[in-house]
Amino acid sequence: MQHTPGRTRPHGFSSMVMKRPHLVVTVCFLAAMALVSGVGLRQLYQMTRNELHSRQRDLEVRAVGVDALISAERRRLLFLRDYAQHVLASPSQQRTGLQNPKAQAALRDSDKLQWTAPGAMDGPLVFGTNAQGLAGIEGFHRDAATLAADIVLARAISPLLAISQHADAVQSTVAYISANGLYVLSPERPDAHAPDLLRRFSTMPYYRLHVTGQNPARDIVWTPIYTESKRSEAISTLSAPVYANGQFRGAVVMDVAPSRLLALQLASANLTDNDEPAEFGLLNSNGDLVYFVDGKITAQRPTRFDPSLLDMARASAAAWMKRGQGYAVRSGRYLLFQHVGESHWILLANTDDSELTLAAARRVFSSPLIVAWLAIAVLLVGTLRVVKHIFGQYVEASTRLETLARSDPLTGLANRRRFQEVFDETLGRAAREGGDAAATPAMAMLMLDIDYFKRVNDRFGHAAGDRVLVIFAGILRNNLRSAEMPARVGGEEFAALLPGADLATAAGVAERIRQAVEAHATNAAHAASAPGDAANQDADAIAFTVSIGVAASPADCPARYEALMQVADRRLYAAKTGGRNRVVAEDSRSIDPARA
C-alpha cells in the first residue's frame, strides 16, 4: 500500500479519543471514580477492622469489671467456705458450740421430721429433718457421728450468711446446705417443708455436682441457669464444697439473680454505640454458658449469637483461656472472647460484618472525612463537565480542520490529498479482499477539466466562476455511485476514482458526465445569450462544457496512483487539443461528441 508523504496516522488511543471523546472522558471519569471508591471501600474495610479491634478492647475493659465482680463474689464465698471448714476442724469451737442450750435442743429435736434451731447472734433459722425425711433423697444421709458438729456449724455460719446477703444492695440468696439433712437460708424460707426443699437441693447442679464427684478440684462452681421456684426468675449460682477430714460435709451457695447483675451491667457498660441491648455471655471451663441481655440473666440463647460459634467456644474453652483474647469468625459473624482475670470464665460478645460496617459508616458520616470525599466527588463531576465541554469544542474544531484539510471548501468535494488517501485505501482493501489475485485490481480514474474556464471568470466575474465550479461538482455527484469518489484537484480540474471499473465502463461514466454537463449548457444557452450586463447574468444560466481523460488498470498501467494519474492527464490533454467537450479513453482516438 502506498502512503502520502508526510501523512501521520494516529495511534490507537489517540484515534479513539478523536472518534469517541465523550466515551473516553466518561470512561476515564468512571475509572477515577472507581479508584476513589476503591480507596474509600478499602478505608471503610480498615475502619471495620479498627471497629472490631475497638470492640475487642472494650471487651477487655468489660472483663476487668466482670473479674472484679466475680472476684468479690468468690472472696465472699471462699470466706464462708473457709470459715465452715475451720469450724468443723476446730475442737474448741465444737465444744463451745455444743455447750449452748439452743444447740443441745436442736440435737434433741433432730429426730423430728422437721425441726428448727435459732441461729447464733439472731441469725437466720436452721432447718432440718430426720433420717426418715432423708429417705430416698440422693446426696443426703443421717450421720449421727457428725450431726452435732454440723448443727454447731449451721448455727455459727447463720449470722455470716445474713451479713453476706445484706452486703449487696439487692437481696440475693446465700445458703449453707449440710449433707446431714439441715440447711440455713438467708433470707429465710419459713414456709418451706424441709424434706421437700432438701429434695430440690439434691437435684440442683450447685449441690449435685459436688456430691457426684464432678468437682474433684473442690473449686468454686458456676452452675447453669435455673428458675427459682417461688419468684420464677432466672438464676445462676456460685457454690463451694465444704470438706472436713476429706469427707464432703456440705456446700455454701450464693445465688446470682438478674437484679444482682446490675453491678455487672454498670461495670461493663454498653459494648455497642447504638441503642440495641448489650448482649454477652460468660463461659466457664466446664462449657456452661450464662447469657446476659442488657444486664439481665437468661437461660435462652440470644438470637444474635451464632450456635455454631458457641459450639466452637465450648470445644475451645481451654485453648481460648490460654490465648487470653481474640475472636472466631464464620460466615461474616464474629464471636469475641476475653479471659476474665485468673478465673475459669471467658467473657463473650458477638457482632457481624453488617454491624461493623454500619458502625464504621456512622463514624465516617459523623467525621470531617466525609466532607473531603464529597468534595472529591463534586470536583470529579465538575471536572467531567468541563473536560467534556472542552473536548466538545476541541472535537468540533478538529472536525472543521479535518474537513478543511481533506475537502475543497468551495465545492465540498475531496481535495487532492484526500483523493490520494482514498485511492491508497481502496487499493489496500482490494489487496486484502482479493489476495494474490488482486495484484493488479480493476480500477479507473477520470481527469476532468472545464473548457474555457478563464473566459467565464473574465466575462462573468470570479463569483460566477465559483458558482460554475459548484454546479459542476453537483453534476459529478449526481452521476457517480456512492462508491465512486469525485475530487477537485486544481483550479478547474477535477478527478474521479472508479473502483472495480474497467476502461469501457469508465469511458461510459465519463461520457454520461459529459452529456450531463452539455445538457446543462443547452438549458443555459438562451439565458447566457440574452442582452444585458454580463456581470449581472445569473451564474446558474452560464453554459460550459468539460473535457475528460480516462485511464484504467490493468488495461493502461499498473494500479498505481501516479501511473493512472499520468495516463488520465495525458488523455485529458488530448481531449483539449482534439477540440474540447469530449472524452478520450485511448491514446489513439477520442470520443467526438458530434459522432457519439
Question: SS3 string of 41-70?
Answer: HHHHHHHHHHHHHHHHHHHHHHHHHHHHHH
For residues 115 and 364, the model is more confident at: 115
Provide the pLDDT for residue 214: 80
Bridge partners, residue 446, by sequence: 496, 550
Q: Report which of residues 132 and 376 the model is more confident about.
A: 132
Q: What is the mean pLDDT of the chain?
A: 82
Banded pLDDT at 367 (limits 50, 70, 90): low
- The neighbour count for residue 275, using CB atoms within 10 Å, is 6
- Give the pLDDT mean for 263-271: 48
- pLDDT computed for residue 273 by the predictor: 47
DSSP secondary-structure letter at 174? Answer: E
pLDDT of residue 385: 77
pLDDT band, residue 5 (cuts 50/70/90): very low
Q: How many Cβ atoms are within 10 Å of 136's Cβ, its own excluded?
A: 9
Do the beta carbons of residue 330 and residue 307 sit within 8 Å?
no
- What distances in angstroms separate CA 230 from CA 189, 192, 298, 319, one per listed residue? 10, 10, 17, 39
pLDDT for residue 526: 57
Most confident option among 72-81, 194-203, 336-345, 396-405: 194-203
Torsion from C-alpha of 351, 357, 362, 365, nearest 10 degrees: 170
Please report the pLDDT score of residue 397 as a whole number.
75
Cα 229 → chain centroid: 51
Q: Is the pLDDT of residue 174 over 60?
A: yes
**β-pairing, 115-117 with 546-553?**
unpaired
Which tops the pLDDT comparison, 582 or 341?
Answer: 582
Q: What integer pLDDT is reported at residue 496 of this predicted model? A: 95
Three-state secondary-structure class, residue 344: coil
- CA 264 to each of CA 252, 257, 268, 341, 517: distance values in angstroms, whole numbers, following the listed order: 22, 11, 6, 15, 108
> Does 583 have pLDDT greater than 90?
yes
Output the pLDDT for position 11. 56
Q: Where are the alpha helices (DSSP H) in 239-306?
A: 262-268
What value does the mean pLDDT take over residues 551-577? 92
Q: Which domains does the chain have, with CATH numbers?
A: 103-261 (3.30.450.20), 267-353 (3.30.450), 412-584 (3.30.70.270)
User: Who has greater pLDDT, 15 or 511?
Assistant: 511
Residue with cell 466475680: 70
In the predicted model, what is the mean pLDDT of residues 454-472? 91
Per-residue pLDDT tens for 233-256?
A: 556 688 999 999 989 999 999 886
DSSP state of 20: -
pLDDT value, residue 7? 47
Greater pLDDT, 383 or 92: 92
- pTM for this model (two decimals): 0.51
Looking at residue 531, its pLDDT comes to 54
CA dihedral 514, 519, 523, 525 (to 10 degrees): 50
pLDDT confidence of residue 23: 72
Q: Tell me what the mean pLDDT of segment 180-196 comes to.
A: 91
Which stretch of 21-35, 174-188, 412-426 has the lowest confidence by average pLDDT?
21-35
Rounded to an integer, the average pLDDT of 74-89 is: 92
Task: Give the model's pLDDT for residue 17.
Answer: 60
